[in-house]
Amino acid sequence: MTEFKGNDKSLTRRKFLIHAAGTALGGLAFCAPMSALGSLPRTRTLSFYHTHTGETFDVSTTNGHYTTRDRKKLFTFLRDFRTGDTHPMDIRLFSTLMKIQDLTGSNGVYEVISGYRSPQTNNMLRSRSNGVAKTSYHMKGQAIDIRLSDVKTSHLRDIARKLQTGGVGYYRRSDFVHIDTGPVRFW
């Protein structure tokens, strides 16, 4: 590209416009890689604390993808703490948790009350309470009961409802929110 000299007497309007267009195109070419930054891999981390086992777990995702190793560790962390049974968890749950963090601006820890629930545990809980579903989404690995350490549970409930990614139950007395990937419904 030629250097523009304001006192060049041979500069015509045409040369000026050609030079200006070249400079603009050069600027666009320089900016193009910057616009590609949005497509760079984005790594995010969810932090968990299990209220019944005292265990903590951090899991990272890059653009919503978890490594096989991290998925297995996550499934183990969210096991039925009463029986030790594990089950694959629906990854869409964790996408919802990420969205909740984004919308609340939270950097807190998800406090897990319940993840996977074996049929034996679910039946035992049903015998003690009429609030436990016979075909609970916990038994399918599609539900999690949580709190978020730096967000009021009522606000957590409101955000989860707005996302409409599945069922949302609010348990004010026990201070937790149930989130599942079943049909959209609220209680």
Q: What is the pLDDT of residues 66-92, one digit of tens each?
A: 999 999 999 999 999 999 999 999 999
If asked whether residues 48 and 36 sit together in one domain, one would say: no
Rounded-to-10 torsion of CA 31, 63, 60, 105? 70
Domain hosting 89: range is 43-186
Please tell me which residue, 153 or 15, carries the higher pLDDT value: 153
If asked whether residues 27 and 96 sit together in one domain, one would say: no
If asked whether residues 1 and 77 sit together in one domain, one would say: no
If asked whether residues 111 and 21 sit together in one domain, one would say: no
pTM for the whole structure: 0.77
Q: Is the pLDDT of residue 111 over 90?
A: yes
Q: Are 91 and 123 in contact (CB under 8 A)?
A: no
If asked whether residues 12 and 49 sit together in one domain, one would say: no
The answer for residues whose C-beta is within 8 angstroms of residue 143's C-beta and 6 or more apart is 93, 114, 115, 117, 136, 137, 167, 178, 179, 180, 181, 182
If asked whether residues 2 and 23 sit together in one domain, one would say: yes
- Give the count of alpha carbons within 13 A of 55, CB side only: 13
pLDDT recorded at residue 1: 45
Reported as a pLDDT band with limits 50, 70 and 90, residue 105 is very high
15: its two tokens:
């040369």
Question: How far apart, in whole angstroms, are the C-alpha atoms of residue 184 and residue 164?
Answer: 6
Strand order in 185-186's β-sheet? 56-62, 43-50, 110-114, 143-148, 176-180, 167-171, 185-186
Give the pLDDT mean for 126-146.
94
Task: Write down the residue that tokens 């777990």 correspond to.
Answer: 57
If asked whether residues 182 and 127 sit together in one domain, one would say: yes
Domain count, the chain: 2
Residue 175, CA distances (Å) to 80, 82, 127, 152, 171 in order: 20, 21, 22, 9, 6
Rounded-to-10 torsion of CA 63, 146, 116, 132? -140
Q: What percent of the residues of the chain are helix, what percent strand, and what percent coil, each to the nearest 5?
A: 40, 20, 40
CATH of the domain at 114: 3.30.1380
Beta carbons within 10 angstroms of residue 101's beta carbon: 21
If asked whether residues 25 and 52 sit together in one domain, one would say: no
If asked whether residues 166 and 96 sit together in one domain, one would say: yes
Q: Are 138 and 147 in contact (CB under 8 A)?
A: no
If asked whether residues 79 and 127 sit together in one domain, one would say: yes
If asked whether residues 69 and 129 sit together in one domain, one would say: yes
Task: Write down the residue that tokens 């049974």 correspond to.
Answer: 85
